[in-house]
Every structure is written in C-alpha cells, then in structure tokens.
Amino acid sequence: MIAEIIAVGSEMLTPFRQDTNSLFLTRQLNELGVVVAFKTVVGDDFDHLVSAARAAIGRSDIILFTGGLGPTEDDLTRECVAAALGVELRRDHEIVTAMYKRFAERRIQMPSNNAKQADVIEGAIVLPNSRGTAPGQYLETEVDGKKRIVMLLPGPPHELEALWHKECEPRLREKLPPAAIVMKVLKTAMLPESAADMRTAPIYKKYPNVETTVLAGQGQVEFHLLAAAPTIDEAQAAVDKLAGELEDELDDAVFSTCGESLEEIVGYYLQMRNLKLAVAESCTGGMVAERITSVAGSSRFFLGGAVVYSNDLKTLFADVPPLMIEAHGAVSKEVALALAENIREICNADIGLGITGIAGPSGGTEEKPVGLVYVAVSDGKRNEVVQRRFPGDRERIRRWASQQALDLLRRMVM
C-alpha cells in the first residue's frame, strides 16, 4: 500500500515557497502504517494537473491532493481529478444552499463563482471543512482493476489539519490493516555527527524492525525511532529496547527522550531545583537569553542578565576588571569565568553563565581564530569553563556557542 501526495499551486513552483503540508500528511500516513512513495508539486494548469493526477492514479493506492479547491478560475483540482478519472462533476445543491445562507447571514451577495466549490466528483463523499469554505472530497474507486483511494484536501494548513483528523483519518483507518506505530525521539547535545553515527550505527542496524532516522543540526544530533507492529505493546517494546541501548552508548549526551528542546530541559531542572539563572553574553549577543525565554514560564527561573558586547559594558554590567581584559584579552578563559561569577553575584542569582568568543567573519588572529569561544558557568562554589573552536560562518558559530552554553548549564544543574 503506497501513497502519493500532490500539492497544487503555482506559488510552490517559485523559489520562495515550499509545500509543507506534505510533511504533516507524511507523518499522519506513517502513523497509519502507510509509506509515501511520491510527492509532486504542480501548478494551477489544467494539462499539467491532469498529467500529474493520471500518473499518480496509475501507480499509487492512496492519492492525496492539497490545494486548488477555492472559488477562483485558478482552482482546478476538482475538474482535473475528474478528468484524470474519466468521470463527471455534479453540482451539490445542498452545498450551494449552505453557501448562499452563509453569505446572506453576513449580508453579502455571494459571488457566482463560489458555486464552483460545490462541484463534487462522481462517487465522492463531501468532507465538511469546519475552518473554511472549500469542502474536501473522499473517493474510493477502481481504475483498471486496481483499488484507489483519492482525497481532495484544502491547502491552508489549519483547514487541512482539522479536516484530516475529523474526516480522513477515521475513514482511512477503517480501510487499513490495524497497525500500531510508536515513535520515540532521543536528542543529544554537543556530539559530533560523525562520531554519533559511528557509535550508534552498529546498534540501530541490529533493529531492522525499527526505522531509525538520524538528524543533525548545530550541536544537536537527534535519533528518530519508529516501529510498526500488530500491537502497541510490541511496537513500544521494540522502540524502548533500541532506545535503551542507544542511551547506554551515548550516556549523558542524551538530554531528552520525550521531544523536549534543550532550553526546555534546562528550564525544567532550574525550576525543579528552585534555582535562578542570570547570563552575561558577548559573542552570542543575547541568543542564549532569547532561547531560554522562548520557554513559556521562564520568568520562574530566569532573572535576565547583560549583553556585554563592548568591553566597557563587560566592566559596567559584569564588573570584569579592565586590567584582566588587557592582560588576557576579551576572548579568554579568565573573562568567561569572571562574566559567569560576577553576573551571578550582581543579579543575586544562583547560577551565572558567561560567554565570550569570536563569531567572525573578521576579528580573528592566529592565536585567537574565528570560531574560538569560551563558555563558563558558576554556582558560587563550582566554576566550569570550556574552550571550543566552532566551524562555519557567523550564524553557525553563534548557534553552536549558544548550544554549548545551554549544555554546560544542563550538566551543572541536572
């Protein structure tokens, strides 16, 4: 049983717009045990859309169309799918009446082209759209002796998602063999991607029944584990066994097993231990504070701090002695530690964090190259400082540095 997703709309054939509905639909289909074999984007063009629909109906069991269901001349999905299937459209007068009523309630005359949205493919069921005017359609049919399920879905994501859960998922679940799907995501911080894969591939390759996807970003490697089995207990057992082995191997590099972000985990520990945090950032320019405050309720564990971009502000807000900066440079272990210790004390916090580094592209020297970053944390008794040299451009270096800062914090408070 394979599925194909066809996103309709010329705007998705420009350099500016991506189809993103297919990511949602893929996840939904995977959870029902259905694999997506093809994704197509096609513009608002009759011949092109018929061609895409014909190819899909010829090769895939389930075909989902998104978009092109509106009232304008450009909206051609209904017409084209009917043409590809060789069947007629019939106008559903109940839908037309309901539309007239809705416009009348708002005391607006209905533009005549709106009636188009009531055209239904022969044999299709109309799927009410609770969040918009264009209803979806659901059709089970046979083409050249092969069973096909065809769905027409609205393009706006909030309409599509509501309609999917209410109308499509239950219908599809009835047609498919029962499949229990369990997902688990392990997230790790500050593990190099190549090392993460080298250490884990021999483990997850022993589990061909669990689909493992490794995703790597700046300072974060995630393992997405997906298992399908006849019962939920079997699927859960398969995922848990692999997750356990991966956690044993990766140890405390794993910071989350339930989807939480690194900033959420840091916030969770700070709040649990009733600790208040203050930060003093130079090269990250506020990124660590921004990430921490992106968590709702962060005022319970985060006081604030200073963005000490200039040397004067390092002294003014974090009391770093000018002589220290002169002796060791603003980018040094000593300054990072002073930032962490002093911001903690000045703000009357329990934990202080300090960051200084060279984000580039200019400002690097042979001794202190672009990418060099010092991160320090202090709880008044223990001080920790790490020196790192991060790769990439300004944005990547800053992102790596903020990730390192959050990870050092996590290790201090967990």
Considering only residues 73 to 92 of the shown chain, the ones binding a second copy according to CB under 8 A are none
Touching a second copy, residues 214-253 (CB under 8 A): 215, 224
Beta bridge partners of 3: 36, 62
Residue (36 or 95) nearer to a second copy, CB? 36
Please give the Cα distance from 88 to 373 (Å, whole number).
66
Please give the Cα distance from 406 to 205 (Å, whole number).
31
Q: Is 143 in the site for a second copy (CB under 8 A)?
A: no
CB 264 within 8 A of CB 382: no
Which one of the spans 64-72, 76-84, 139-147, 278-286 is the region binding a second copy (CB under 8 A)?
A: 278-286
Instruction: Please identify which residue in 138, 223, 317, 400 interacts with a second copy, judged by CB under 8 A.
Output: 317
User: What is the pattern of x (binds a second copy, CB under 8 A) and - over residues 362-381?
Assistant: xx------------------
Instruction: Please identify which residue in 35, 258, 272, 327 interacts with a second copy, judged by CB under 8 A.
Output: 35
Cβ-count burial 219-244 (b if 16+ within 10 Å, e if not): bbbbbebbbbbeeeeebeebbeebbe
Residue (137 or 212) nearer to a second copy, CB? 212
Please give the Cα distance from 289 to 106 (Å, whole number).
47
Touching a second copy, residues 158-217 (CB under 8 A): 213, 215
Q: Is 36 in the site for a second copy (CB under 8 A)?
A: yes
Q: Which amino acid is at 135?
A: P
Q: Is 55 in the site for a second copy (CB under 8 A)?
A: yes
Instruction: Please identify which residue in 113, 130, 194, 299 interacts with a second copy, judged by CB under 8 A.
Output: 299
The DSSP H or E segment spanning 342 is: helix 333-346
Touching a second copy, residues 386-405 (CB under 8 A): 394-395, 398
Question: Which residues touch 249 (CB under 8 Å, ≥6 apart)?
Answer: 199, 200, 203
Q: What is the SS3 assignment for 98? A: helix
Residue (24 or 268) nearer to a second copy, CB? 24
Which one of the spans 230-238, 244-252, 291-299, 376-384 is the region binding a second copy (CB under 8 A)?
A: 291-299
Q: Write the DSSP string, 153-217.
A: E-SSHHHHHHHIIIIIHHHHHHHS---EEEEEEEEEES--HHHHHHHHHHHHTT-TTEEEEEEEE
The minimum distance between CB 106 and a second copy, in angstroms, equals 17
Q: Is 361 in the site for a second copy (CB under 8 A)?
A: yes
